[in-house]
Amino acid sequence: MSIFRILSRSSRLGLKSISVQQQNFLKMSTNASISELQREKETFQDLLPNIMETMLKNTRFTNMPEVANWTKQVLEYNLHGGKKTRGLTTTLAYETLEHPDNITEESLKVSRVVGWCVEMLHAYFLVMDDIMDGSTKRRGVPCWYRLPNIGLGAINDSILIHSSIYEILKLYCENLPHYKHIVDQFNEALLYTSMGQHLDYTMAHRNKNDYSLFTLERYSSIVKYKTAYYTYKLPVSLGLLLANNTDMKTHKIAEEICLEIGHLFQMQDDFIDTFGVEKVTGKVGTDIQEGKCSWLAVQALERCNSKQMKVFTACYGSPEPAHIERIKRLYEELELPAIYQKEERDRYNSVVQRVRQLPTETSMSPDLFLKLLDMIYDRKN
């Protein structure tokens, strides 16, 4: 039985439904799958220098060698580290959705190149987001704008990252039958994510004591646009297009499932931002001091009594270490860690149930979405 099938079966059945012997076998298989993912990540990573060299020698960057060299430094720093979830998802989507007879070394390479373009889009957002949020560390190192002699020049550097995406797509994908649709997907992701960032930023910069918009509905809108579209919908849509699948119904169903997974992913990010360990996450959480409309904040406001509400309004959005710790204690008093674990599990099971019922005419296997879930479930960073 293949690793994909083993993992899919475990996701559908749940570990409680199988024997101890089967559980041990699944653990071994999962470890094998992790090794397989690590090998793919290494292959993916090894391709980046070649992509950058090809871009800088064969596109409009050749007209300005000084800018080309600088762009290389910007990309190397901001693409370093991280889990590469979005890029790997692009290749995984292509490999899972394409007919096996059509998969070649060249087609896999192109999927990895497109995956790196998704990672560049992610890096573009992170550089800008770190400036907007006043963050200090990203992936265990100082944020780009905080390096000596960078500062707000990072804004233009982010534009160089974004421009590189389209140079690379033209270089590697211009002759593909759905090149225009691929470019359109990146433009859509840029627009939607910018909308989400606007919602996220304005919520954090509202009147300090006005929490009327800290609702599950508003939170879901922020998550949908800020995270889910470019983290999951974009890579999966690109995988479909690279497999020459333009069926609108298939793309729509894939989008709906990806948005559900994206909601789970952002909810996890919010929890990790507050309760994660810096050595594991590689960054310092800032949601509390920034007054973000996070999953934890929304859940707390739904449960606070009058006394707890006074604590929340007095301390939330404050940079004072004592206030940050008091909010964390309030979350624990409200038992939000336990509530989080239950919702994480419920959302995971909901997506599993949804993909088990995929219409056969979509030609999409549940394996793709089950694998995406397995990549993030119970994550710590």
Q: How do residues 129-184 score in pLDDT, each as one tens digit? A: 999 988 898 988 999 999 999 999 999 999 999 999 999 999 999 999 999 999 99
CATH code: domain 3-303+335-376 is 1.10.600.10
pLDDT at 313: 95
Asked whether the predicted pLDDT for residue 289 surpasses 50, the reply is yes
pLDDT at 281: 65
Contact 139, 115 (CB under 8 A): no
Asked whether the predicted pLDDT for residue 309 surpasses 80, the reply is yes
Residue 306 structure tokens: 């009058």
Q: For the chain, what is the radius of gyration of the CA atoms?
A: 21
Asked whether the predicted pLDDT for residue 41 surpasses 80, the reply is yes
Contact 161, 123 (CB under 8 A): yes
Identity of the residue numbered 159: I
pLDDT at 376: 87
| pLDDT band per the 50, 70, 90 thresholds, residue 18 | very low
Residue 289 structure tokens: 């001091």
pLDDT at 279: 74
pLDDT at 34: 62
* Structural domain boundaries in the chain: 3-303+335-376
pLDDT at 349: 94
> Per DSSP, what are the bridge partners of residue 142?
137
Contact 6, 29 (CB under 8 A): yes
Asked whether the predicted pLDDT for residue 304 surpasses 70, the reply is yes
HSE-CB of 197 using CA atoms within 13 angstroms: 18
Q: C-alpha distances in angstroms, 347 versus 32, 208, 331?
A: 26, 31, 21
